[in-house]
Amino acid sequence: MSTAETPVAQVEKKQKKKTVQWGDDPKIGFVEALYLPAIAGGIATALKHAFFKKRSTAQYPEQKPEMPPNYRGVHRLNRDEEGRVKCVACYMCQTACPANCIEIIAAPAPQDDPKWANRDKFPATFTIDELRCIYCGMCEEACPVDAIELTSIYDLTGMSRQEMIFDKEKLLSVFDETSKAGLDPVRTNRGALGPASEKSMQSTDSPPPPGRGKHG
């Protein structure tokens, strides 16, 4: 088709394309121009809702909403099977956090405590400013060992800013509470975890690793 167009027509077409495209005013017909039918329609709709539709208000404190299981609320710090904090203090969450609200101080795991024998590094402190957090879930995405998770607790309130800064103990207690209440986030255990926090991948029947016990 375009080959049939004269060059002038093509140029014109091009120019036309470039000009500002105005949105057309809607065409107003006779009925619309009278206004009253439209007004009556509006009032009828309003009245219909006022008298015939079910009220959808939820009476909040008495009537708790059902949170979708993938809701992103208050954080928790998970524990491993031995009750230790699962976090290995890799700082991935702190790095990923766009709100810059996580602060971790890492330390070597207590060497003389047999409970910590197979762990190298752990978070000496772990602080989240729940007020600064935007509940984006990046921390949980970033965590290589699924240690940090967002629970479906949504009603987070406090009387001071200070108490909204959650430390490690508080975050662990959130884990204890939610796991006891069966409120584990759906994302928990979404896949195989890294070797850093889980029980060693080594099966018990294989021979002990060579080198161990020699100089260790």
Partner 1 sequence: MSTVFVNDIEVEVGPRDNLIQAARAAGVEIPHYCWHEALSVVASCRMCLVEVGEKKPDGTIAMGPKLVPACQTPAKPGTVVKTETAKVKTGQQMTLEFLLLNHPLDCSICDQAGECYLQDYTYKFGKAQSRLNEPKVQRLDKYHIGEQIALFTDRCVMCTRCVRFTREISGTAELQVVARGSVEEIDVFPNKPCNNKLAGNVVDLCPVGALCSKDFLYKKRVWWLKSQKSVCAGCSTGCSIEVDQNEDHVYRLRPRANPLAQGHFMCDEGRFGFKYVQSTNRLSGPTSKSIATVGVAASAVTKFNGNVAGKLFQPADLAVVDHWPAAIQEAREKIKAAVDSSASSFAAVFSPMMSVEEAYLLASYLKGLNRNVKLLMGPVPVVGEDDCYPKNVNGSAPTAEKTKFTIRAEKCPNRLGVEKVLKHFQGALVPIEDAIQGAHGIQAWYFVGGYATPDDSIGWVSPSIAKATEPAKLLIVQDIFPSVLSKRADIVFAGAAFTERDGTFINHSGLAQAFRAATRPPQASRADGRILNELCLRQGLYNTEFLRKEIASKIPSLESLSVGDLGVHGVELHQLVGAHL
Partner 2 sequence: MNWYEIWAELWPTLIAIGIILAVVPVVGLYATFVERKLAAAVQDRLGPNRVGPFGLFQAIADGIKIFLKEQIIPSHVHTFIYMLAPCISLMTAMFALAVLPYGPTPVNYFGGLRFIVMPGLDISLLIMFAISSLSAYGIILGGWASNNKYSLYGAIRSCAQFISYEIPMGLSVIGVILVAGSMNIETIVASQGSGDGISGWNLWWQPLALIIFFTSALAETNRLPFDLPECEQELVGGFHTEYGGIKFVLFFLAEYTHVVTVSFLTTLLFFGGWHFPGVPSEVTASYGILALQMLVLLVKVCGVVCFIMLLRWALPRFRFDQLMGLAWKGLIPLAMLNLVFLAVFESLGWHRWPLAVLSVLLFVAAGYWSAWQSQSFVRKASVT
**Based on CB atoms, which residue is closest to partner 1, 182 or 209?**
209
134 contacts ligand SF4 (rule: CB under 6 A):
yes
Tell me, residue by residue from 86 to 125, as one string, x for binding to partner 1 by CB under 8 A and - for no binding.
--xxxxx--x----x--x-xxxx--x--------xx---x
71 contacts partner 1 (rule: CB under 8 A):
no
**Least spacing, CB of residue 113 vs ligand SF4, in Å:** 19
Identify the CA nearest to 195 among candidates 107, 82, 86: 86
Say how far apart CA 140 and CA 153 lie, in whole Å: 15
Q: Which one of residues 74, 76, 88, 178 is an interface residue with ligand SF4 (CB under 6 A)?
A: 88
12 contacts partner 2 (rule: CB under 8 A):
no
133 contacts ligand SF4 (rule: CB under 6 A):
yes
Question: Element (H or E) spanning 77, and its range?
Answer: strand 75-77
**Least spacing, CB of residue 65 vs partner 2, in Å:** 15
Span of 5-13, 24-32, 137-145, 163-171 interacting with ligand SF4 by CB under 6 A: 137-145
**Based on CB atoms, which residue is closest to ligand SF4, 19 or 162?**
162
Residues 6+ apart with CB under 8 A from 70: 185, 186, 187
Q: How many other CB atoms are found less than 10 A from the CB of residue 162?
A: 7
Paired tokens of 179: 């796991």
**DSSP string computed for 111-143:** TT-GGGTT--EEEEEEEEETTT-----HHHHH-
213 binds, among ligand SF4, partner 2, partner 1, none (CB under 5 to 8 A by kind): partner 1
Say how far apart CA 145 and CA 191 lie, in whole Å: 10
Range 196-213 burial, b when 16+ CB lie within 10 A, else e: bbeeeeeeeeeeeeeeee
Q: Interface with partner 1 by CB under 8 A: which residues?
A: 88-92, 95, 100, 103, 105-108, 111, 120-121, 125, 127, 129, 144-145, 165, 194-196, 200-203, 206, 209-213, 215-216
